[in-house]
Amino acid sequence: MSLLELDDVSVTYRIAEGEVPAVRGVSLTLGSGAALGVAGESGSGKSTLAMALLRLLPRDARVTGRILLDGEDVLTMKWGRLRAVRWAQASIVFQGAQHGLNPVHRIGDQIAEPLLVHNLAKPGEAGKRVAELLEQVGLPAWRARSYPHELSGGQRQRVMIAMALACSPRLIIADEPTTALDVMVQAQVLTLIKELVAEHDISLVMISHDLSVLADVCDRLAVMYAGRVVEQGPSREVFHDPRHPYSQALAAAFPTVGDPASRLAPKGLGGDPPDPMDLPTGCSFHPRCPVALEECPTLDVELWPAGDRRAAACVHVRDHGRDRVQEKA
Amino acid sequence: MSTFTWTRRKRALGRFWEDFRKQRGGLAGLVILVVAVTLAVVAPLFIDQGVTSVVENTGPRWSPPSLDYPFGTDESGRSILLMVWWGSRTSLLIGFLAALLTVGIGTVLGIAAGHFRGWIGAVIMRVTDWFLVLPSLVTALVLAAILGGSTFTIIMAIGVTSWPSTARLIRAQTLAVEARPYIERSKALGGGHWHITTRHVLPNVAPLLLASTTLQVASAIVTESTLAFLGVTANKTSWGTMLRGSYDWNAASYGAWWYILIPGLCILAVVMAFTLCGRALETVLNPRLRKAGA
Amino acid sequence: MTETQAPAEEVTTARRTLLEARDLHVEFASRGRRARAVDGVNLAVGEGEIVALVGESGCGKTTLARTLLGLEKPTSGTVRYGGEPLRYASRALKDYRRQVQLVLQDPMGSLNPRQTVYEAVAEGPRIHGLPDEADVVNNALARAGLRPPERFLLRYPHELSGGQRQRVVIAGALALDPKVLIADEPVASLDASVRGEILALMLRLRDELGLSALVVTHDLGLAWNIADRVAVMYLGRIVESGPVEQVLTAPRHPYTQALLSVLPESPERVVLTGEPPDPTRIPGGCRFHARCQVLASGKAAEAGVDARCRGELLEILPASAGAQAACYYADATG
């Protein structure tokens, strides 16, 4: 049975100038112990979606649809139940480990806080659990007495992960967990996340703009553009053989070193990400699409099957089914 | 080109006004200020120095408010209403000029201290700290006593003693602006100290300056009144000298509450109006500052 | 990563050196200690050449870039431009600014939020008193790919997308008609789909204007995308340099090997433990020896160089165009 199920989830922000649709009808499922990557650029709605999963959005956001966590709808939960679900069942790791920690408290106290709040440990035992958690994320137990400024960026991100693990959640939502980190430290943190997911049977939703990182960690990938999922499928396949022209551009943006095709030939996409207040008609991607057809500006796109457990929201996929979308000219 | 820029500026100003209008206190303060300043400016059209003359005024002494003298009269039979009206000119003038001087010194030294990080900045900050711990009222008293009493002296005395807090504020903001990458870019483009401070730092501290000036006017008016009450005056009628007069002539023992209350209320109203405006400006401009910094 | 393309000689054809660092040292006081941010660097950027300077944060690459721009004074060594040592008198420095320009990582922060695009691009020409300011600005914007320029002149930075902002920053640099661009992580804060466009712009500027560039980055993929040569920096020194094809497909220094191995898709990972060490405490011997996987695996001992790795200072690499690595093991094993 699936741990997390999103059914036609939409998020709209109401601001002074009108309504901003940030997420538009997203349906996804995540099995127990599986890892799902959500890829997209700024403004694609991927971070809004992550926040919506635990109802962490500001008041001016209206969420519709259903978000089932273990069969329970997060959107209709009572406040008290929601508080219990946050941390205990699902917890979130934010990007920017610098700001996620309170500079005036010791690391150990910050990790122990959710344990004490949720009565999962008595004050006397919390220390032992903190030491355990630190060890899990590869930090020595004496680090519990350190203050955040005494740690490097990578170590702080490890502490954030330890905090997320504190209440033994079944789901971790990681929003750009490695964005601000160096390659080497990023590799360390990704390895850590992969191990934790595998060893503790934790499900993971990881959000990033870097398709190669997601493909490395996750089993399945969903690519978002302008608030919609435009392609989803097994991560290796989506990364190596993307069907939607946007996924193709995203995959090509991070070249493989040694690949002659990308040598001295950086690949990008013309135009800019769309303004959510003023979305293009039809397929939202058509103004930037290198293979757009005449019908694209008026076409209602949906996720069409694009192979085994794969789907893509592109007219070429609809027309050619499982065949490959023509390489862009 | 410049007309386009001008339209944009006008639109920005319109947005600012929209925000400011929502600040009720600020709006009330603004109304009081506009009334007070207009009255002070047009006063010479209706009255002159004569209203403060002991010789020319032959009304009843210690008369309580009546139809002839709405705010009553003082020990020499002068109309409190006319004196307060005429006195507002001195009080507001000293308030504005002293605040400008304060903010002027504070801005130059604050930006210099924030921009030149090395020993120059350190020296300026030590001097600022030194002035900050001086009891400013006493210093102003001593200064005014040495220089002799004139409007100019009072302005100098207030300006020279109250700039350090502005300097500290501006320095902090300058440091924040100078940490932004566009300063680095400007340096790489070849911009010198003058270019960077006038083109980048100053426009970014300007909103803060506006709010700070408004608050400084209020505090300068209070200081002027205090100085006058303590006997250091510009030899011109101001709200402060009127208070001093009421004290000298024992207005309280004559039961002449109007002599004390009216100038006092004037000070209170104007100071409060400036403070309300200043606070409103801070609220309106600060989020924009933060947005601009992000 | 196994296939090697075009022979390296093709790329190393002698280019006239334009910008050069000679035995450059930059030190700072850091919490009471001396931090040797740049600790002996030789590096040359030839005419029309794009060089990528790669390293982790804290390796000194940004300090090196700032020193090359004359924004930082070296403790010792010289920056040379067109064969002449850089002088730090304000007049000389101002002239130098017309030759070497800067593009920063964060285009939002690089633009004054209170200035329009026109004012931002015109800033350089105004400082240097160039004639026909409006034409210069329009040309620069068009060259940076903002066409038609009129559409952008009166916009404020917050009304532009990330890619457009970075183009405005590049246009601001181009307005001075420089010979070299020094770009510090030019695409790191841009969206993935826009990234390639900005990199393509830099390549086009090189082709059309003969612009040289030093691109400071932590991203080896970026180096592969646009650079002719790459220099890998570790703890204040360049540990390996050479043509991109050679260095990135057949790295010789263990540090470069490790950096490449942690890229997604690479077969065997060498994840170095620990964080990059502290420039206030540079270890003796080879500065990488404490984290070196080759030394740790005992392969260095087999080659008989382990004692030198731990105890003997390495020569500083010269500013040569060919492939070279500062490593005893690589030297010993060829």
> Distance between CA A252 and CA B14 in Å, rounded?
46
Tokens of C283: 């270890």
Q: How far is C164 from chain A (nearest CA, A)?
A: 8
C 134-193 residues inside an 8 A Cβ radius of A:
161-164, 191-193
A119: which residues sit within 8 A by CB, 6+ positions away?
Answer: none
pLDDT at C286 over 70: yes
Residues C242 and C324 sit within 8 Å (Cβ to Cβ): yes
pLDDT in tens, A268-323: 887 777 888 888 889 999 998 988 899 899 988 889 888 888 999 999 888 876 55
pLDDT in tens, C165-196: 999 999 999 999 999 999 999 988 888 888 88
A 102-121 residues inside an 8 A Cβ radius of C:
none
Find, in chain A, the residue whose alpha carbon is nearest to that of C225: A264
Number of CB pairs < 8 Å for A and C?
Answer: 126
Residues A88 and A39 sit within 8 Å (Cβ to Cβ): no
Q: How far is C70 from chain B (nearest CA, A)?
A: 8
pLDDT at C48 over 60: yes
Q: What is the predicted pLDDT for the residue at A30?
A: 92
Find, in chain B, the residue whose alpha carbon is nearest to that of C106: B181
Determine contact: C226 vs chain A, CB below 8 A: yes
Could you tell me which chains touch chain C, where touching means 3 or more CB pairs under 8 A? A, B
Could you tell me which chains touch chain B, where touching means 3 or more CB pairs under 8 A? C
Tell me the H-state helices in C192-235: 192-209, 220-226
Which uninterrupted H or E stretch holds C103?
Answer: strand C100-103
Tokens of B65: 């408010």
Q: Is the Cβ pair C265, A260 closer than 8 Å? A: no
Sort A69 into a burial class: Cβ within 10 Å, 0-12 / 13-18 / 19+: buried
Determine contact: C94 vs chain B, CB below 8 A: yes
Residues C215 and C188 sit within 8 Å (Cβ to Cβ): no
Domain boundaries, chain C: 16-234, 249-333
Number of CB pairs < 8 Å for B and C?
Answer: 72
> Distance between CA C239 and CA C316 in Å, rounded?
9
Q: What is the predicted pLDDT for the residue at C275?
A: 61
Q: What is the mean pLDDT of residues B280-286?
A: 79
Determine contact: C189 vs chain B, CB below 8 A: no
Which residues on chain B are in Cβ contact (under 8 Å) with C123? Answer: 186, 189, 191, 199
Tell me the H-state helices in C210-313: 220-226, 244-249, 254-261, 293-296, 299-302, 306-311
> Distance between CA A33 and CA A11 in Å, rounded?
27
Q: What is the predicted pLDDT for the residue at C210?
A: 92
pLDDT in tens, C6-20: 444 444 456 889 999
Number of C-alpha atoms within 13 angstroms, CB side, residue B69? 24
Q: What is the predicted pLDDT for the residue at B293?
A: 37
CATH of C16-234, one of 1.10.1760.20, 3.30.70.2190, 3.40.50.300, 2.115.10.20: 3.40.50.300
Question: Distance between the two ends of chain A, CA-based, in angstroms?
Answer: 43
Which uninterrupted H or E stretch holds C119?
Answer: helix C117-127
Residues A218 and A204 sit within 8 Å (Cβ to Cβ): yes
Determine contact: C268 vs chain A, CB below 8 A: no
Q: What is the mean pLDDT of residues C233-243?
A: 94
* Chain mean pLDDT for chain B: 86
Place of tokens 């991560």: A235
Q: What is the predicted pLDDT for the residue at B200?
A: 92
pLDDT in tens, B34-69: 999 999 999 888 888 878 877 777 778 888 888 888
pLDDT in tens, A30-45: 988 899 999 988 888 8
Q: What is the predicted pLDDT for the residue at B152?
A: 87
A 182-221 residues inside an 8 A Cβ radius of C:
182-188, 191, 209-213, 215-216
Number of C-alpha atoms within 13 angstroms, CB side, residue A302? 4
pLDDT in tens, A104-132: 889 888 888 888 877 777 877 888 889 98
> Distance between CA C311 and CA C314 in Å, rounded?
10
pLDDT in tens, C248-282: 999 999 999 999 988 877 777 888 876 667 888 88
Determine contact: C207 vs chain A, CB below 8 A: no
Distances in Å between the alpha carbon of A30 and those of A73, A86, A204, A207, A230?
15, 17, 8, 14, 17
What b/e sequence results for B131-165 when a residue is b if at least 16 CB atoms lie within 10 Å of its CB, and e otherwise? beeeebbeebbebbeeeebebebbbbbbbbbbbbb
Determine contact: C109 vs chain B, CB below 8 A: yes
Tokens of B103: 């903010």
Q: What is the predicted pLDDT for the residue at B70?
A: 84
Residue B61 is classified by DSSP as: T
Tokens of C324: 């070279």
Q: What is the predicted pLDDT for the residue at B151?
A: 85
More confident residue, A225 or C270: A225
pLDDT in tens, C288-327: 988 899 998 888 888 888 889 998 888 899 888 889 999 9
Distances in Å between the alpha carbon of C295 and those of A131, A163, C259, C291, C298?
32, 35, 16, 8, 5
Q: What is the predicted pLDDT for the residue at C174?
A: 94
pLDDT in tens, B189-231: 999 999 999 989 998 888 888 888 888 888 898 888 888 888 8
Distances in Å between the alpha carbon of A143 and those of A150, A152, A193, C276?
9, 12, 20, 19
pLDDT at A326 over 50: no
Q: Does residue C148 have a cis peptide bond before it, meaning omega lies within 30 degrees of 0?
A: yes
Determine contact: A284 vs chain C, CB below 8 A: no
* Chain mean pLDDT for chain A: 86
Q: pTM for the complete prediction?
A: 0.83
Ordered structural domains, chain A, with CATH: 2-89+169-320 (3.40.50.300)
Q: How far is B117 from chain C (nearest CA, A)?
A: 14
Q: Tell me how crowded residue C296 is: count the other CB atoms within 10 A of its CB.
A: 14
Q: Is the Cβ pair C192, A215 closer than 8 Å? A: no
Strand arrangement of the beta sheet that strand A310-312 belongs to: A90-93, A171-175, A203-208, A35-39, A220-225, A228-234, A310-312, A304-307
> Distance between CA A140 and CA A138 in Å, rounded?
7
Three-state SS string across C77-96, please? Answer: EEEEECCEECCCCHHHHHHH
* Helix count and strand count (H, E) for chain B: 11, 0
Amino acid at C156: Y
Of C57, C226, C264, the CB nearest to A264: C226
> pLDDT-based confidence at A96, cuts 50/70/90?
low
Tokens of B68: 């002839």
> Distance between CA A312 and CA A305 in Å, rounded?
7
Q: What is the predicted pLDDT for the residue at C1?
A: 40
Of B185, B195, B204, the CB nearest to C114: B204
pLDDT at C75 over 90: yes
Q: What is the mean pLDDT of residues B234-256?
A: 85
Q: What is the mean pLDDT of residues C95-115?
A: 91
Determine contact: C7 vs chain A, CB below 8 A: no
Determine contact: A159 vs chain C, CB below 8 A: no
Which residues on chain C are in Cβ contact (under 8 Å) with B189? Answer: 97, 101-102, 123-124, 127, 172-173, 176
> pLDDT-based confidence at C4, cuts 50/70/90?
very low
Residue B251 has phi, psi (to 5 degrees) of: -55, -35
Tokens of B12: 């920005």
Q: What is the predicted pLDDT for the residue at B109?
A: 95
Q: What is the predicted pLDDT for the residue at C73?
A: 93
Nearest Cα residue to A9 out of A26, A32, A30: A26
Which residues on chain C are in Cβ contact (under 8 Å) with B203? Answer: 112, 114
pLDDT at C226 over 90: yes
Q: Is the Cβ pair B189, C105 closer than 8 Å? A: no
Determine contact: C29 vs chain A, CB below 8 A: no
Q: What is the predicted pLDDT for the residue at A327?
A: 44
pLDDT in tens, B129-148: 998 888 888 888 888 888 87
Best A17, A182, A213 member to test C by mutation, with max C CBs in 10 Å, is A182
Q: What is the predicted pLDDT for the residue at A329?
A: 35
B18: which residues sit within 8 A by CB, 6+ positions away?
Answer: none
Which residues on chain C are in Cβ contact (under 8 Å) with B184? Answer: 71, 102, 104, 110
Q: What is the predicted pLDDT for the residue at A285?
A: 92
Residues B97 and B252 sit within 8 Å (Cβ to Cβ): no
Mapping DSSP to helix (H, G, I), strand (E, B) and coil, where does residue B211 land? helix
Q: What is the mean pLDDT of residues A215-244?
A: 92
A47: which residues sit within 8 A by CB, 6+ positions away?
Answer: A175, A176, A207
> Distance between CA A46 and CA A23 in Å, rounded?
8
Q: How far is B183 from chain C (nearest CA, A)?
A: 8
> Distance between CA A315 and CA A300 in Å, rounded?
9
What class, spelled out in words, does domain B26-44+70-293 have in CATH? mainly alpha
Best B182, B183, B187, B199 member to test C by mutation, with max C CBs in 10 Å, is B182
Nearest Cα residue to C139 out of C128, C150, C129: C150
> Distance between CA B245 and CA B239 in Å, rounded?
10
Winning range, highest mean pLDDT, from B45-49, B83-87, B224-228, C243-247: C243-247
Q: How far is C42 from chain B (nearest CA, A)?
A: 22
Three-state SS string across chain A, please? Answer: CEEEEEEEEEEEEEECCEEEEEEEEEEEEEECCCEEEEECCCCCCHHHHHHHHCCCCCCCEEEEEEEEECCEEHHHCCHHHHHHHHHHCEEEECCCCCCCCCCCCCHHHHHHHHHHHCCCCCHHHHHHHHHHHHHHCCCCHHHHHCCHHHCCHHHHHHHHHHHHHCCCCCEEEEECCCCCCCHHHHHHHHHHHHHHHHHHCCEEEEEECCHHHHHHHCCEEEEEECCEEEEEEEHHHHHHCCCCHHHHHHHHHCCCCCCHHHCCCCCCCCCCCCCCCCCCCCCCCHHHCCCCCCCHHHCCCCCEEEECCEEECCHHHHHHCCCCCCCCC
> Distance between CA C315 and CA A137 in Å, rounded?
39
Which residues on chain A are in Cβ contact (under 8 Å) with C225? Answer: 255, 262-266
> Distance between CA C165 and CA A108 in Å, rounded?
42
